[in-house]
Amino acid sequence: MLGSLVDGFLFGFSYALIGIGFTLIFGVMQKFNLAHGPTALAGAYLGLAVYRLSGLVVPSYLLFAVAVTGAGAIGWLVYQVCFRFLPKEYELAPLMSSMGMLILIEEVISHLTDAQPFEFPNPLLYEAFEFEFGDIILRHDYLLLAAMALAVVGMLYYLIFHTRLGLATRAISQQPVAAQLCGARIDRVNEMVFVLSAGIAGATGFMVAMTIGTIIPGLASVMTIKGLVVAVFGGLGSVPGAVIAGLILGMLEAETSYLFNATIRDIVAYLVLFAVLVVRPTGLLGKRSLYQ
Amino acid sequence: MDYIYSLVTQTGIHILLGLSVYTVALTGQVSFGQQGFYAIGAYVSAIATTLWGVPLIPALLLGMAVSTIVGVLVGFPALRVKGLYLAIATFAFGEIVRNGLNIVYYTREVGGAEVGPVGPEGFRNISNFNDNGWTTLDVMILVVIIVAVVLVIYAMLERSRLGATMRAVGADELAAATAGISVVWIKVGAFAIGAAAAGLGGGLYAHFTTFLSPLAFGLSVAIIAVAYVLVGGLGSWLGPVAGVLFFLALTEGLRFLGEYRMMIYGLAVVIAMNVRPYGLIDAKLMHRLKDLLGSRAQSARKET
């Protein structure tokens, strides 16, 4: 009971990380990028490809770097193809184009891997890599995931509040026209935020693949859904909201699947989401003024 | 020929699904939850015909009625939520329905066999068409007639005051409210009409496939239903029809590509949105068409 709660809490950081990706892009562009999940998964697959092609020798931290840069590049491509040339004020067109991209990336991965599940290297998956406190077992890979999530949040905090890019980002999310008049280049900032969130996606995809142990192409849409749910639950555009929502969702899912089964888990999770949105139409920490 | 008949039948059913998203979209909202109403319509009407022995048409109407009522019940709280938030809230509704179907067990012995929904195993032997000796052609004719009636109703709705009111709410809620429109009622009404269309489509789908599984009402249905409307365009009820035909042409026309088919499918959606971001039949095209038809009608009048 307590053990599954702790596991859920730690795994919730992966939900938080995916949600952050959606929330960042929404923050500057007020749009959803449905291709975010596939980008994360593609990063993980790129790491896996390097690992297998090199004869299983490349250490995991290098694979991690491959996943982050690869996903960043894919994110840049997604921005160019699905967002850049579409009308800025119409949020539904990129919703569809990134949906097309979701199908495309997922299909390319399925095709290259023959839709077979692949085992993912996890150097932290041995009994020596666990802390034990009574009947609570802390897995090292979960702890690493949590540490990485906190590091990402710290980095974002620094980027958003202490750099020129962050200043431009905040300015654009408040007043796009005024920000442009002050010399912020919207296209450039959007592009940077996109690559940043795709890089975070790659890191997330890698860590999720590592903790789960095997990856299949179908994970792409699962990640997109979880990310959307977390970002909306926490309030779009709010990074702390995404973290809180991710952790709540992680614990809720772990507890309900421990006590009942996967069906009840999903029903409860979506009921909670629905109820939260009805009571707070802009999520837990979302700003009312931003969207209404 | 049977292949063509079932293709037409499927197209008709999907037009109903597309129209259901379209109705909600007219009021400026995107719903990723219409597959929930589709599922409710399917299950209710299938239970009515197979378990209770209700004739087909009343059963379809019952499925429609139940999903309309659910639509109103869900619509009231859900429409407090707006824009992309609503897209996710409605998706949550759809997933609640789909997962709920996993725990629906309701079987009864009819004609020596146990029939009815069995949780995740689904609902087999919805044999109303078969029992009454309907061929694929008969089914197609029924669906075509129903869809034609629905399309005529939509064409009338669009020219009516209600249609204009719905578009006004979609264009600017605040302005519409200032003009004395009850925004809440229009939105809930649109939600209910959309739910009815989806419920009707679901009922036809159930009897057409004869087998329902909760798996058939997941994310992919939600996405394709929204895609019909956004790719087709919001300019008129022709939009979702064009969207359905676009995707039909893609899935059927790309069959020769084999396993590359879905890749090209995704790419085609990306390209379509880059070329026509407001959909194939957008408001601009409709204005142009109307101008064209209008001026022709005028010149015809002048000649006589």
Q: In this structure, are residues B136 and B9 in contact, taking their beta carbons and an 8 Å threshold?
A: yes
Q: What is the pLDDT of residue A35?
A: 94
pLDDT of A12: 93
Give the one of A91, A266, A281 whose C-beta lies nearest to B99's C-beta.
Answer: A266
Residue B150, pLDDT score: 95
Quick one: CA torsion of B116, B122, B128, B130, rounded to 10 degrees? Answer: -130
DSSP string for residues in A18-62 = HHHHHHHHHHHHS---TTHHHHHHHHHHHHHHHHHHTTS-S-HHH
Angle at B222 between CA B221 and CA B226, to 5 degrees: 110
- What is the spatial distance between Cα A185 and Cα A187, in angstroms, rounded to a whole number? 6
User: Is any Cβ of chain A less than 8 angstroms from the Cβ of B273?
Assistant: yes
Cβ atoms of B27 and B194 closer than 8 Å:
no
Portion 1-60 of A in contact with B at CB < 8 A: 26, 32
Confidence of residue A124 (pLDDT cuts 50, 70, 90): confident
Q: What is the arithmetic mean of pLDDT over A224-248?
A: 92
Q: Is B88 on the interface with A (CB under 8 A)?
A: yes
Nearest-by-Cβ selection for B270 from A101, A264, A286: A101
Q: Tell me if chain A has a CB within 8 Å of the CB of B274.
A: yes
Every domain of chain B and the residues it spans: 2-217
B208 neighbors B60 (Cβ within 8 angstroms) = no
User: What is the dihedral sign for C-alpha B189, B191, B192, B196?
Assistant: positive
Question: Which residues are bridge partners to A119 per DSSP?
Answer: A214
What does the alpha-carbon distance between residue B178 and residue B184 come to, in Å, rounded to a whole number? 13
Output the pLDDT for position B1. Answer: 81
Which residues in chain A have Cβ-Cβ distances shorter than 8 Å to B265?
Answer: 100, 103, 107
Average pLDDT estimate for A166-181: 88
Q: What is the pLDDT of residue A290?
A: 43
> How near does any CA of chain A get to the CA of B244, in Å?
15
* Nearest chain A alpha carbon to B227: A96
Query: For position B297, what pLDDT does the model report?
Result: 62
B268 and B250 in contact (C-beta within 8 Å)? yes
Across the interface, whether the CB atoms of A93 and B82 are under 8 A apart is answered no
Q: Is A270 helix (H, G, I), strand (E, B) or coil?
A: helix
pLDDT at residue A30 is higher than 80:
yes
Q: Element (H or E) spanning B131, and its range?
A: helix B128-131
* Nearest to B217, CA basis, from B230, B228, B233, B201: B201
Burial B10-42 (b: 16+ CB within 10 A, else e): bbbbbbbbbbbbbbbbbbbbbbbbbbbbbbbbb
Q: Which residues in chain B land under pLDDT 70? A: 295-304
Residue B278 forms contact with A (CB below 8 Å): yes
**A144 touches A125 (CB < 8 A):** no
Q: What is the ipTM of this complex?
A: 0.87
Residues 6+ apart with CB under 8 A from A141: A122, A124, A125, A129, A207, A210, A211
- Which domains are seen in chain A, by residue range? 2-291 (1.10.3470)
Mean pLDDT score, A63-83:
94
* Per-residue pLDDT, A127: 62
Mutant choice from B22, B95, B273, B274 vs A, greatest count of A C-beta within 10 A: B273
Contacts of B246 in chain A (CB under 8 A): none
Residue A16's CB is within 10 A of a number of other CB atoms, namely 33
Q: How far is B100 from chain A (nearest CA, A)?
A: 7
Give the tens place of pLDDT for each residue, A252-289: 999 998 888 888 888 999 999 999 888 888 888 877 54
pLDDT of residue B281: 84
> Helix B56-78 crosses helix B183-209 at what angle (to 10 degrees)?
140
Chain A residue with the nearest C-alpha to that of B233: A93
Mean residue pLDDT of chain A comes to: 89
Name chain A contacts of B84, Cβ cutoff 8 Å.
Answer: 26, 32, 91, 95, 232, 236
How far apart CA A271 and CA A275 sit, in angstroms, is 6
Smallest CA–CA distance, residue A248 to chain B, in Å, is 16
